[in-house]
Chain A
Amino acid sequence: MKIEEAKKFHKIDTVVIGAGLAGLGAALEIAKGGGEVAVLTKVYPTRSHSGSAQGGIAASLANVAEDSEEMHMFDTIKGSDYLGDQDVIELFVAEAKKTVYWFEHMGVPFSRTEDGRINQRAFGGHSSPRACFSADITGHVLLHTLYEQCLKHNVHFFNEFQVFSLLIEDDISRGVVAWDIRNGGLHIFHSKALLLATGGYGRAFKITSNAFANTGDSLSLILENGLPLEDMEFVQFHPTGLYKHGILLSEAARGEGAYLTNDKGERFMEKYAPQKMELAPRDVISRAEQTEINEGRGIAGKAYVHLDMRHLGKEKIMERLPQVWELAFNYLEVDGTKAPIPIQPAAHYSMGGIPANIKTEVIKDAAGTVVTGLYAAGEAACLSLHGANRLGTNSVQGAATFGRISGTNILEFIKTVNYPKMVANPLERAQRKIDSFMTNKGKEKHALIREELQENMTGHVGVFRNETDMLKLKKIIKDLLERFKEVSIDDKGSAFNLDLLEAFEVGSLLNFSEVIVEGALARKESRGAHYRTDFPKRDDKKWLKHTLAWKTDKGVKLDFSRNVTIYMDRYPPLERKY
């Protein structure tokens, strides 16, 4: 197909994919600096999943207790089970404070201390109350504020556009091809710089806090272009997903003092993290919950335990945790002021993602060779800020801070380079994908394939993992990939074809799920969120390394030669206890 056959051809210096905190943060900095930028999002910007973050944004402001960048840095390193890159974390804790003031000066409505400063609350794994918050809708107000500022600075939005292919040739990014969801048709975007800020990949799992949109499409496109993903086996399971739904109940509930109890009414965290109790990091608590459930101490023997906030009192619950109360009430008809709330671990955060350096430039190998003009930030990226396990409120901060940093770096970059040459047949790959769904006469339904994948991912590569289960899973995914070739869709139209989009998304899920499983199989140790019952100890000698994974014709290729950046004199790896 020729370029002229595209519905529209756009030439824009910077294209950002994704309109969450990372994407909008970058776009705003570029626009404020006078750069040309367009944001493509498959939903409306204010619908992005950053808005679901509830509890807060981490920064060592020390507004309510003693705190410092060093303390924030150590907590983050320890939380990451020493897999986090310490140069990235060092930059992060310093920039985090600037990011919070940047937000506040743009109008974010933060909850306040008595003397009118930004209020802060306790969060798991943080040694000081460090979460700056706005009741329990922090992500929502951050997202809306950034969107408002982007409007003010005339960022150009392409709402409801789905990227179908990346145009990368000779390790130079040249743009993307995207489908106009509302009207149909493919658009070519020719750009100097491309930022992938598409969020996490939790939708590969059945019980998840993630939105329908979180299908990791750009991760799959990276693999398709022969580039690697990093540390994909590290998936965080949040301890307080609403039973059966997986919907997030903020860690802020425990930050404010809520308990976790089992069928006997015991605060079971006494056994697992006697010092930190309910404020231990998420991986530790999710394993504790799953152990209680597996050993028959789930409520009435079922697959859930209780989040009990009754003792906080109605007034505090309604002032500080109104959303938590309302979600439990609406979905389970449980009044959290009067009864404990059923919860279970839910796939929540993707520590792995597109490998990028401290400047958010995407890299293509263990040596750190940069793909020119290609950037990644936020949950879609792996810098690696969170290592093997992320601390609560560090994600919102990580997305915003590295989005902002990415914007600054891109602004410099686009000033110094000319447009790269467009590839010869830009539409070809995207059109082929669309044609195959539209014309396939196969009997397979994408929704059924997705359900089987999610069921088995939660079952076999969840909170606890072992080789037998994962070998089974590997085979299941292989079969599903085969069956996926026979997927046909009902809707052949152009206008808002959700059938086409969901089919494409299931393809994304299958593609990178294989990489999650291969990484988890190969990594014969337990670290952070990756827990192998057959290898229950951390093994720094062999595995204090990042995972890089490529998809090849012969299957997944793994490389463990990318070292973790560690300041041995300041933060040497220690045993992780809470």
Chain B
Amino acid sequence: MDEQTNVKVKILRYNPEKDKKPFWQPYEVKIEPDATILDILNEIRWKLDGTLAFRRSCRSAICGSCAMKVNGRNILACETPMHRFKGRGLKIEPLPGFRIIKDLVVDLDSFFEKMNRVRPYLLLDKPIPDKEFIQSPEEFEEIREVCICILCGACTSSCPSVWSNEEYLGPAALLKAYRFIFDSRDDAADERIDIVNDKNGIWRCHTIFNCMEACPKHIKITEYLSRLKVKAVENSI
């Protein structure tokens, strides 16, 4: 067993059944120095305070449940070791920009609903072959990275344009549109471009790069959105 260390943590708590507004609650946890943020939250829940609520599942950075804000940055709790915030206490709060359901759990309905608006599924006019559609390695490469998106919400939650306009699709939904527009098999690119080439679409992106910094999968989101803008312009000429 590694030697344990004391960690001071402040968590933004909110219980809709009791609290008028969110408040900071301090905890002190004894834990291994290589612990992740999720390990700390679990330790609190299991040993100190069972009323703390947060989402988590896979703990290997692929399910997208545990996005939250730690010391000012959106991260996945499961993959972030606490020593990344060396020398400072920890301040843990829910993803900004969403309604709090309880403690670190936010309402992601609007996030998923925006996804639906870009028609996030392959649409085909062409006949379906007996075997697979032929797609070259280069064509696959066009969409490989954007398909890594785990829908954690860290990007959309970090975007000032989303904060100022609730109707803006936001980076995650636009990335989903990109994933299909640039898929060589899809037949509905024009229709999707019309959806994103809208007052609440791609032009609300002011290339602030917050989304890219927030993305736990390191997807070059802003770059892809810029390509989407080019495509939108090309289509309207």
Contact = CB atoms under 8 A, between A and B. Distances in A.
Interface of A: 43-44, 46-49, 51-52, 61, 100-101, 104-107, 109-118, 134-135, 137, 140-141, 144-145, 148-149, 151-152, 182, 209, 211-213, 245, 247-248, 323, 326-327, 330-331, 445, 447-448, 451, 489-491, 493-499, 502
Contacts of B132: 100-101, 104-105, 110, 117-118
A490 B51 contact: yes
A115 B50 CA distance: 56
Contact of A211 (B45, B63, B139): B63
Given A49-B58, A109-B147, A149-B121, A495 B51 contact: no
Given A110-B132, A135-B144, A330-B79, A495 B137 contact: no
A223 to B, nearest CB: 24
Given A151-B120, A182-B101, A211-B57, A104 B133 contact: yes
Closest 5 CB pairs of A and B: A107-B122, A490-B50, A447-B46, A116-B134, A148-B121
Interface size bucket, B side?
A: 35 or more
Contacts of B140: 109-112
28 contacts: A44-B65, A46-B63, A47-B64, A47-B65, A51-B63, A52-B60, A101-B130, A104-B132, A109-B183, A110-B132, A115-B134, A116-B136, A134-B144, A134-B147, A135-B144, A137-B148, A144-B147, A211-B63, A213-B57, A330-B80, A330-B81, A447-B47, A490-B51, A495-B16, A495-B102, A496-B53, A496-B101, A498-B54
B105 interface: yes
B120 A491 contact: no
B111 to A, nearest CB: 10
Contacts of A118: 132
B29 interface: no
B110 interface: no
Nearest to A488: B50
Contact of A114 (B15, B101, B137): B137
Contacts of A145: 122
B49 interface: yes
Contacts of B61: 326-327, 330
A323 B135 CA distance: 23
B59 interface: yes
B185 interface: yes
A496 B16 CA distance: 10
B12 interface: no
Given A151-B116, A491-B51, A498-B45, A47 B58 contact: yes
B200 to A, nearest CB: 20
A248 B60 contact: yes
A213 to B, nearest CB: 5
B135 A112 contact: yes
